[in-house]
């Protein structure tokens, strides 16, 4: 009698389970975990029925047979559910191949990518706000002017960048912060770069077209978030900056992404910020600018290195007004302390430059958290007023990272990247 009771209990449970499988909750499909649990219970029931069917009285054989039929029906339903889950999984995998990937974090900003990474869009930027206090002696106040304490936005930059078909990179930057007397807000780096362009056997270079920095000076080419100091040096007044043009570049000698030699050469039309009042000025001439850098020493995965480089630019102002000036390494200063218009008995603005030849040499060394960097440059200016004049500038800087990192080198541009702290200083 005890075995008969077990059989009836199993029969009732099988009937209940069959009804549950046949009628899932409204609007809710059985999950993969539910199906797996049902499969487990079904196998346990099958084992129990087999055990009970052995050695039972003849009168109970029909009951066991009915229970086995119920189990067979349950088996069929579980198989259907398992197949449905397989189909759902296959459909989800197929959809994932084409679904865009959206990420947002502090490191990469907001980014949208296609599933195969062939197309991407990254939204980034930065906001820099300055507060400045000045203390001048009487001689400086009389010679330059009376500086005033102040505040202001140094930069409010929005950047959109990404890839098209893997080998086309695009970028556009818009600067919202402006200064009196300048053409801002304005576009800054706005260009398209075709990468991995084959040439010279198995070599592949980059062709860049748009509005971007000319290849001149390590300090000028290092992006703002990656610079050692908040301000560029006074010598930066002599550096060519962003202009419209076309540039070819490549990295050579060494394993891929660890090359030891980099070069870039381009032809540019002087426009400064874009759009600006000088874009269509016929007096603004064309320039040829080139830069070569190398790593004579590179060890410990870049923790120790020596960087050297040189740049040359032949510029044809075509009679345009030419002048160089720089603030005293603080953007909030009201006056430009280094200014070619303040030389005694000479104003470069009045001289009307015919041609300008600019030269620059750069050096940098990284030894763990310590870094030294220096540059020296000069410009030979042929003028209609005073024949030929030479203007020179240089800087040297030292830095030490208190949290132990080292400056990361960018082999694809011969510059340094920004630092990601290993730990909190506190």
Please indicate, yes or no, if residue 426 is contained in any of the structural domains.
no
pLDDT band at 124 (very low <50, low <70, confident <90, very high): confident
* pTM score: 0.72
Domain boundary among 48, 72, 96: 96
Buried b (16+ CB within 10 A) or exposed e, 149-174: eeeeebbbbbbebbbeeeeebbbbbb
23, exposed or middle or buried, with CB in 10 Å at 0-12, 13-18, 19+? exposed
pLDDT at 297 over 50: yes
| CATH code where residue 248 lies | 2.40.160.10
Of 96, 127, 146, which marks where a domain is finished? 96
Residues 88 and 188 in one domain: no
Query: Does 408 reside within a domain?
Result: yes
The total of other beta-carbon atoms located within 10 Å of residue 356's CB is 21
Same domain, 142 and 75: no
Range among 178-182, 187-191, 213-217 with highest mean pLDDT value: 213-217
Q: Tell me, letter by letter, the H, E, C secondary structure of the chain.
A: CHHHHHHHHHHHHHHHHHHHHHCCCCCCCCCHHHHHHHHHHHHHHHHHHHHHHCCCCHHHHHHHHHHHHHHHHHHHHHHHHHHHHHHHHHHHHHHHCCCCEEEEECCCEEEEECCCCCEEEEEEEEEEEEEECCCCCHHHHHHCCCCCCEEEEEEEEEEEEEEECCCEEEEEEEECCCCCCCCCCEEEEEEEEEEEEEECCCEEEEEEEEEEECCCCHHHHCCHHHCCCCCCCHHHHHCCCEEEEEEEEEEECCCCCCCCEEEEEEEEECCCCECCCCCCCCCCCEEEEEEEEEEEEEEHHHCEEEEEEEEEEEECCCCCCCCCEECCCCCCCCCCCEEHHHCCCCCHHHHCEEEEEEEEEEEEEEECCEEEEEEEEEEEEEECCCCEEEEEEEEEEEEECCCCCCCCEECCCCEECCCCCCCCCC
Domain coverage including residue 23: 2-96
Query: Both 162 and 120 in a single domain?
Result: yes
Could you report the per-residue pLDDT of 10-53, keeping only the tens digit for each? 444 454 444 444 445 554 556 667 667 666 766 766 666 666 65
Q: CB within 8 A of 123, min separation 6: which ones?
A: 109, 110, 111, 158, 159, 160
333 lies in the same domain as 367: yes
Same domain, 83 and 224: no
How many Å apart are CA 241 and CA 119, to the nearest integer?
Answer: 30
Tell me if 213 is assigned to some domain: yes
Domain count, the chain: 2
- The answer as to whether 403 is a domain residue is yes
**pLDDT(2) > 50:** no
Q: How many beta carbons lie within 10 A of that of residue 404, not counting itself? A: 11
pLDDT digits (tens, 9 = 90+) for 161-187: 999 988 899 999 988 886 544 556 788
| pLDDT value of position 156 | 87
Q: What is the distance between the terminal CA atoms of the chain, rounded to a whole angstrom?
A: 77
Phi, psi (rounded to 5 degrees) for 387? 60, -95
Among 65, 96, 127, the domain boundary falls at: 96
Please report, rounded to a whole number, the percentage of residues in the chain having pLDDT higher than 70.
77
Residues 79 and 128 in one domain: no
Position 424 in a domain: no
Does 359 or 229 have the greater pLDDT score?
A: 359
Q: Please tell me whether residues 124 and 31 are part of one structural domain.
A: no
Looking at the fold, whether 139 and 87 belong to one and the same domain comes out as no
Q: Are residues 86 and 125 in the same domain?
A: no
* Shared-domain flag, residues 254 and 149: yes
The answer on 177 and 90 residing in a single domain is no
């Amino acid at each position: 009698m005890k075995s008969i009771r077990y059989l009836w209990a199993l029969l009732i449970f099988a009937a209940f389970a069959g009804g549950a499988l046949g009628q899932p909750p409204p609007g809710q499909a059985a999950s993969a975990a539910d199906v797996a649990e049902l499969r487990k219970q079904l196998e346990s029931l099958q084992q129990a029925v087999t055990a009970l069917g052995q050695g039972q009285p003849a009168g109970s054989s029909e009951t066991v047979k009915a229970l086995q039929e119920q189990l067979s029906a349950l088996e069929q339903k579980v198989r259907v559910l398992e197949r449905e889950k397989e189909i759902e999984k296959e459909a989800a995998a197929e959809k994932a191949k084409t679904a865009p990937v959206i990420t947002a974090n502090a490191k990469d900003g907001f980014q949208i990518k296609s599933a195969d990474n062939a197309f991407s869009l990254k939204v980034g930027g930065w906001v820099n706000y300055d507060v400045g206090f000045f203390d001048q002696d009487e001689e400086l106040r009389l010679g330059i002017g009376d500086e005033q304490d102040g505040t202001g936005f140094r930069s409010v930059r929005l950047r959109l960048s990404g890839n098209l078909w893997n080998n086309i990179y695009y970028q556009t930057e818009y600067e919202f912060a402006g200064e009196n007397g300048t053409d801002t807000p304005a576009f800054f780096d706005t260009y398209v770069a075709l990468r991995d362009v084959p040439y010279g056997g198995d070599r592949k270079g980059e062709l860049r077209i748009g509005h971007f920095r000319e290849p001149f000076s390590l300090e000028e080419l290092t992006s703002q978030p990656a610079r050692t100091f908040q301000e560029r040096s006074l010598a930066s007044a002599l550096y060519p900056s962003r202009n419209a043009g076309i540039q070819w570049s490549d990295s050579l000698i060494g394993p891929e992404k660890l090359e030891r030699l980099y070069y870039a050469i381009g032809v540019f039309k002087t426009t400064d910020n874009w759009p600006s009042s000088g874009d269509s000025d016929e007096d603004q001439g064309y320039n040829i600018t080139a830069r070569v850098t190398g790593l004579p020493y590179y060890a410990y995965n870049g923790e120790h290195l020596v960087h050297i480089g040189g740049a040359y630019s032949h510029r044809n102002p075509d009679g345009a007004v030419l002048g160089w000036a720089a603030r005293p390494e603080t953007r909030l200063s009201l006056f430009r302390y280094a200014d070619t218009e303040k030389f005694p008995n000479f104003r470069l603005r009045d001289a009307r430059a015919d041609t300008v030849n600019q030269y620059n040499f750069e050096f940098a060394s990284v030894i763990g958290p310590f870094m030294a960097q220096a540059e020296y440059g000069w410009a030979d200016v042929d003028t209609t007023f005073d024949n030929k004049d030479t203007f020179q500038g240089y800087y040297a800087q030292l830095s030490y990272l208190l949290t132990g990192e080292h400056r990361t080198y960018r082999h694809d541009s011969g510059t340094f990247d920004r630092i990601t702290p290993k730990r909190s200083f506190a």
